[in-house]
Amino acid sequence: MESSYAAHIHPECPWAAMDKHQLVWLGAITIICGILGAAANGILSAGCLLGIGIPESRVDQGHRLLLLNLSIASLGTLLLAGFPFTGPSLIYGRWIFGNGCCQLFAFLRVMFGFAQMSALMLLVVERFWLFYIITKEHSRMMTIKKCAWGIGTFWGLSMLLAIPPLIKWGRYSCDSTRTTCELDWLMKNESQISYNLFYLALGVTLPTFVIFFSLWRCHKMMKALSIHNNDFGIDVHGQYFITKVVLYIVLGMYITWIPRAIYVFVTMLSGNEGEKKLPTVLKILSPIITETSTMIPLIVYTLLGTNIRKNMMGLLRKTSSLRSKRGGMIRLQMR
């Protein structure tokens, strides 16, 4: 029975079947982590949209919009390319939504994956640009309109980047659990090799370089600034805290992506020996921690911002109206 699981996704699925009990437990944990991640990003999105504690300054509104973009990308990853499809399939022991849906699911998985990475990159670049304009008197601030253009551009690139495997450059196929669909990371032919390397270069390596280079430049500029500097009407002290939060979000998300990175690396190294078993621990950790990574932004904001904790408790207890809350989502009060 288990040998037929892969046929429901792709007749050439090369991976060895996992133990049925492991799949059931993995499916259950994936669903739980997915629900928690969706709830966390729903709360964060609502905070940005409803303006819970977000001051109406032009400096903070760009950050608010980019944070909303990251939350939406994470929600898309969870709800349209995540646990509602992978969880039941894992529990059932095979992909249960048909081959057409398999291709669409894998397409959305790649698209939202790059959208999430680019959203994180835009969040960091906005921090870099903010401190750059503080140190350069004649520079222009990153307006809401420019942020919106950046967001729209990268969502378009995300869609374009996910299309090639649908037209036979690269391939969408089964994953190592044989129960869901994703980009086929096996380097079995020229098409897969060229697309996989292209995706890693444009979709992973380049954004990662920009993210950490921008954070490094932020650090250098922050060290050169006086914390009491108030040019352009900017609260530099407050912006230090926001930048610190963005740094923790980046580090937290990248740390949780490590098992996935190892999984992809090991899969690519297996070459034409796709039937070779990956370590079971990688098959289990990769989907669970990937779903968990989407909770990092809310966790960081909640831990570092005292006001956001008060706002969340107020929401849960329904003891105060949304309009009465001020200064919690973006202007953080540190311990």
Residues of the chain with pLDDT > 90: what percent? 48
Average pLDDT (206-214) is: 96
Flag whether pLDDT at 267 surpasses 70.
yes
72 vs 124: CA distance, rounded Å = 17
User: What is the per-residue pLDDT for 51?
Assistant: 58
Query: 210 phi and psi, to 5 degrees?
Result: -60, -40
307 vs 292: CA distance, rounded Å = 24
pTM of the full predicted structure? 0.85
Extents of the domains making up the chain: 20-306
Flag whether pLDDT at 181 surpasses 70.
yes
Whole-number mean pLDDT of the chain? 81
Average pLDDT (128-148) is: 75
Residues of the chain with pLDDT > 70: what percent? 76
Confidence of residue 121 (pLDDT cuts 50, 70, 90): very high
Flag whether pLDDT at 334 surpasses 60.
no
174 vs 134: CA distance, rounded Å = 49
Got the DSSP string for 172-199? EEE-TTSSSEEE-----SHHHHHHHHHH
Average pLDDT (250-276) is: 84
Please, what CATH class does the domain formed by 20-306 belong to?
A: mainly alpha
Flag whether pLDDT at 178 surpasses 50.
yes
Residue with more model confidence, 302 or 77? 77
**Residue 266 half-sphere exposure, CB side, CA atoms within 13 Å?**
17
